[in-house]
Chain A
């Protein structure tokens, strides 16, 4: 592992204050508004309270914003010629992927750590296993969205496109039952959108799979396969797209 390269990459991303705001500060802020500051926060949500439910959601949002940005920038920097520069060094592609993956992990860890810390300080409550497992699932699942960013970067080859990809995450957040609970037709649609499976899985250690129907107030159980299928299918779609785009890019050089 090339620690010098890793350290410089980390410094480079840390310098981008605008991105770091969207990755870390915005999710923390949204958690405080929609989670910690609400009256419903102390109501039960399975293995913990609603504040914790919001905490997991916002941490997940921050984590995917981070991995989308890093995946996208990796694609753009390679397309814009840094790949050729690295092609003149002994560094193998696998080393580059390893460095970028670890960077993604570190940067995604920032909003997760920050939001979970704020959660602990402002009344998020849950079992120890719910805390640990949800945190782990947020981090692992965020990796899927590195591929989402990669696809945008490969397809449009510009920093602006990567910014747009992060922006689209907000829409997927609403559609994916991430920012507030959906029901009825919207919930039915939500199950097909890319963030739904990811955030459902991350919350599962807390909710045990129960969804709250806001109109009836009744808890409804959703089998595990729904979320797992959603994540698997989206990972497959995005990976195939990425492979196709890489091939197209090679043919064009």
Chain B
């Protein structure tokens, strides 16, 4: 089955529903089709409960799909795990509290026929100074780095990270992504789930938006951004022409919104190139600026609601930022 050219991940018609006695069955994943090529860095972006974790669990062979197939390098996920080709940092991956950091790494290393060197992995995960600390005494960020160290053990081609920075403060998050980037630069395929837009924005080259168990948008970071708001073009106009230019632009079908402030005109559009060209030529505009809308806006426009802002983690995030400020 495994072929040398198979993509890192291939999901076809993936469904997963959970049934509990006495409850209606819950459809967590409702038909996901997705291909992740080798060497890509992909973010799964979506609010809590969107189906990100369930989808990743099926990629890792931790959960069997109700229907559809999940292939990793053209093979069944469990085979890819056994071969050490895929590894993961799980959101809820349990650690044994009464082991030290180094013992935990040794324990998991012992399950692989060929594992990376324990001390080298601790070094790469930034845990060299905490190696003899009990897991129960480690901070949330340290425990997360320990899970990261465990994921590096099989030297995987594909690394999956489920909400890897949840519960970390800003500095820890920065360090974590720096370590992650080093692994990605070494040629690994990286897929991570997050609901932090800025993480998807700064780290991923491709964003897959997931809501209510479905893929609702898929593209490069820039594509996703422009998809909702398009771009914003601003220019200064000669006095006296402001009104007529605004009226002319409003008639164009690719223009979403035109606003004026003195001699400055602001145009929100799906085709910034055409607007810019018109402004600089026939409309007499000067001092032209083009900006892209934020990913935040894009997400709201695509999902059509603001559930992203109501998650509990956003509050934790705010607290972490406050603490950062106090220090």
- Residue A84 contacts which of B94, B103, B111 (CB distance < 8 angstroms)? B94
Q: Which of A12, A82, A91, A252 is close to B95, meaning CB atoms less than 8 Å apart?
A: A82
Contacts of A5 in B (CB 8 A): 107, 110-111
Does B84 reach chain A (CB closer than 8 Å)?
yes
A residues in contact with B19, CB < 8 Å? 251
Tell me whether B98 and A90 are in contact (CB under 8 A): no
Residue of B nearest to A96 (CB): B111
Which residues of B in the span 106-140 have a Cβ within 8 Å of any Cβ on A?
A: 106-113
**A4 contacts which chain B residues (CB < 8 A)?**
106-107, 109-110
> Which B residue sits closest to A8, measured CB to CB?
B107
What A residues does B90 contact at CB under 8 A? 81, 84-85, 88
Interface residue ranges of B1-42 to A (CB < 8 Å):
18-21
B62 within 8 A of A: yes
Q: How would you classify the secondary structure of chain B's contact residues: helix, strand, loop or mixed? A: loop
A89 CA / B19 CA spacing, docked (Å): 27
Point out the residues of chain A lying under 8 angstroms from B61, CB to CB. 87
**B99 CB within 8 Å of chain A:** yes
Q: How large is the interface on B (under 10, 10 to 19, 20 to 34, 35 or more residues)?
A: 20 to 34
A80 to B92, CA, bound (A): 8
> Which B residues are CB-close (under 8 A) to A82?
94-96
Report chain B residues within 8 Å CB of A12: 96, 98-99, 103
Q: In the complex the two chains form, what is the Cα distance from A1 to B45 in whole Å?
A: 41
B307 contacts the other chain (CB 8 A): no
Among A2, A82, A88, A95: residue with most chain B CB under 10 A = A88
Residues of chain A within 8 A (CB-CB) of B111 are 2, 5, 86, 89-91, 95
Decide if B204 is an interface residue (CB 8 Å cutoff).
no
Distance of B296 from chain A, by nearest CB (Å): 32
Is A16 part of the binding interface, using a Cβ–Cβ cutoff of 8 Å? yes
Contact B94 A253 (CB under 8 A): no
Q: Is the interface of A mostly helix, strand, loop or mixed?
A: helix
A77 within 8 A of partner (CB): yes
When chains A and B are docked, how far (Å) is the Cα of A220 from the Cα of B221? Answer: 84
**Which residues of A (34-65) have their CB < 8 Å from a CB of B?**
none
User: Residues of A with Cβ closer than 8 Å to B?
Assistant: 2, 4-5, 8, 11-12, 15-16, 77, 80-91, 95, 251-253
Residues of chain A within 8 A (CB-CB) of B98 are 12, 15-16
Does B286 lie at the interface of the complex (its beta carbon under 8 Å from any beta carbon of A)?
no
Q: Is the CB of A85 within 8 A of B108?
A: yes
Known A87-B62, A90-B84, A252-B20: A80·B112 in contact at CB below 8 Å: no
| B65-103 interface bits toward A, Cβ cutoff 8 Å, 1 = contact, 0 = none | 000000000000000011010011010111110110001
Q: Are A90 and B112 within 8 A (Cβ)? A: yes
The answer to the question of B60 belonging to the interface, with a C-beta cut-off of 8 Å to chain A, is yes
Q: Are B94 and A83 in contact (CB under 8 A)?
A: yes
Q: Are A8 and B60 in contact (CB under 8 A)?
A: no
In the complex, residue of chain B having the shortest beta-carbon distance to the beta carbon of A87: B62
In the complex the two chains form, what is the Cα distance from A12 to B100 in whole Å?
9
Complex Cα gap A83–B90 (Å): 12
Whether, in the assembled complex, B150 has its beta carbon less than 8 Å from a beta carbon of chain A, the answer is yes
Tell me whether A85 and B106 are in contact (CB under 8 A).
no
The 25 listed contacts between A and B (C-beta, < 8 Å) are: A4-B109, A4-B110, A5-B111, A12-B98, A12-B103, A15-B98, A77-B94, A77-B96, A81-B92, A82-B95, A83-B94, A84-B62, A85-B90, A85-B93, A85-B108, A85-B147, A86-B111, A87-B60, A87-B61, A88-B62, A88-B93, A89-B112, A90-B112, A251-B20, A252-B20
- Residue of A at shortest CB range from B147? A85
A90 cross-chain contacts in B, Cβ below 8 A: 81-82, 84, 111-113
Q: Flag if A88 contacts B81 (CB, 8 Å).
A: yes
Closest B residue to A251 by beta carbon equals B20
Q: Does B259 contact A (CB under 8 A)?
A: no
Give Cα distance in the complex from A90 to B87, angstroms. 11
Instruction: Report the bound CA distance from A95 to B112 in whole Å.
Output: 13
Q: What chain A residues lie within 8 Å of B95 (beta carbons)?
A: 81-82, 85
CB closest residue in chain A, given B81? A88
- Say if the beta carbon of B323 comes within 8 Å of chain A: no
Q: Which of A8, A81, A89, A251 contacts B94 (CB 8 A)?
A: A81
- The closest CB in chain B to the CB of A85 belongs to B93
Q: What residues on B are CB-neighbors of A81 within 8 Å? A: 90, 92-95
Q: A89 to B88: give the CA distance in the assembly, Å.
A: 10
Inter-chain CA distance A4–B21, complex, in Å, is 41
Asked whether, in the complex, the Cβ of B60 is within 8 Å of the Cβ of A88, the reply is yes
Residues of A within 8 A of B88 (CB): 88
Which residues on A sit within 8 Å (CB–CB) of B20? Answer: 251-252
Chain A nearest Cβ from B98, distance in angstroms: 5
Q: Which residues of A contact B82 (CB under 8 A)?
A: 90
